[in-house]
């Protein structure tokens, strides 16, 4: 049978576990006939979002559906403070499940702004965490930009005093490269490394594991930024890498001649999904044993 190695830090991180726990506690309200929603997917894992829906925690598709007294859970990625005030103004019960590490980014941009720095947020422009963080930058009266690629650095040219933070799930290597590039021309640079430990640990696991196996499987939502980055890192080290959401995505032909499989999962991937993938790999690999 094929050897399966699961990365040490695969799956749920602290912030996701906390958000899930908060949502499950709030789901008790649905048993009392009260409505419970999340502002966007609580976490970037469709399977876990569906599990919570079955427990009574609905995904909010339009704010027009909200009524006074409804419970709204702020997703783990956070939202702009202006939006939070608006929700509370509607008479809603607002429950904050924002990851504490994301809140640290909010604090960091506010601090840099007050100290007079032009703020560079290294991250994905359309990601909800980045959108929420920009709201805190605006709240503090600061100015800044999001750097998703090196082309975005044009907006930073000519800025003498630059403060740099990162989306919590950002690729560490890209963050280092952006910091190094800005340091070449800015007169003063202040860096607050807001990449969370969970992200660093999962990326380090991939750097170690991917070159040592014949096949690498990365499990997580297709909408999960941290999972995509794990896949990108793995693919750069081992071309035989695949990003899947569930065991149903596995193709038996991947395992032809494969003796050792590495598995990791994004920070929003539950254990039950990881375990089902491991079981599926054991089943399909039997067919191609020693082939």
Active-site positions? 129
DSSP state of 249: G
Contact residues for 9 (Cβ-Cβ < 8 A; gap 6+) = 198, 201, 202, 205, 264
What are the φ and ψ backbone dihedral angles of 61, each rounded to 5 degrees?
-95, -30
Residue 1 contacts residue 259 (beta carbons within 8 Å): no
The DSSP call for residue 63 is G
User: Helices (DSSP H) in the chain: which residue ranges?
Assistant: 14-27, 46-54, 81-89, 100-114, 128-139, 172-183, 197-209, 225-237, 271-287
Structure tokens at 96: 């904050």
Which residues have C-beta within 8 Å of that of residue 32, sequence separation ≥ 6?
A: none
Answer yes or no: are the C-beta atoms of 39 and 75 closer than 8 Å. Answer: yes
The DSSP code for 33 is T
């Amino acid at each position: 049978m094929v050897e399966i190695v699961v990365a040490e830090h695969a799956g749920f991180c602290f912030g996701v576990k906390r958000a899930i726990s908060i949502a499950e506690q709030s789901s008790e309200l649905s048993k009392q006939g009260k409505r419970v929603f999340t502002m966007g997917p609580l976490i970037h894992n469709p399977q876990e979002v569906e599990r919570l829906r079955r427990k009574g925690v609905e995904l909010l598709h339009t704010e027009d559906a909200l009524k006074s007294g409804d419970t709204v859970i702020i997703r783990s990625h956070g939202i702009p403070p202006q939006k939070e005030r608006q929700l509370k103004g509607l008479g809603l019960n607002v429950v904050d499940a924002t990851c504490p590490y994301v809140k640290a980014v909010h604090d960091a941009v506010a601090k840099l702004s007050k100290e007079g720095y032009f703020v560079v947020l290294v991250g994905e422009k359309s990601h909800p965490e980045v959108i929420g963080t920009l709201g805190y930058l605006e709240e503090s009266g600061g100015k800044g930009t999001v750097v998703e690629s090196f082309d975005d650095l044009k907006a930073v040219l000519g800025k003498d005093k630059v403060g740099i933070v990162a989306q919590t799930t950002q690729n560490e290597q890209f963050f280092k490269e952006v910091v190094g590039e800005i340091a070449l021309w800015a007169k003063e640079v202040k860096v607050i490394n807001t990449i969370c430990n969970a992200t660093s640990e999962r990326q380090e696991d991939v750097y170690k594991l991917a070159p040592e196996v014949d096949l690498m499987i990365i499990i997580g939502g297709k909408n999960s930024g941290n999972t995509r980055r794990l896949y990108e890192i793995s693919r750069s080290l081992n071309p035989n890498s695949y990003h899947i959401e569930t065991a149903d995505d596995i193709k038996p032909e991947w395992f032809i001649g494969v003796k050792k499989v590495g598995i990791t999962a994004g920070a929003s991937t539950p254990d039950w999904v990881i375990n089902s993938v491991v079981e599926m790999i054991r089943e399909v690999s039997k067919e191609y044993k020693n082939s």
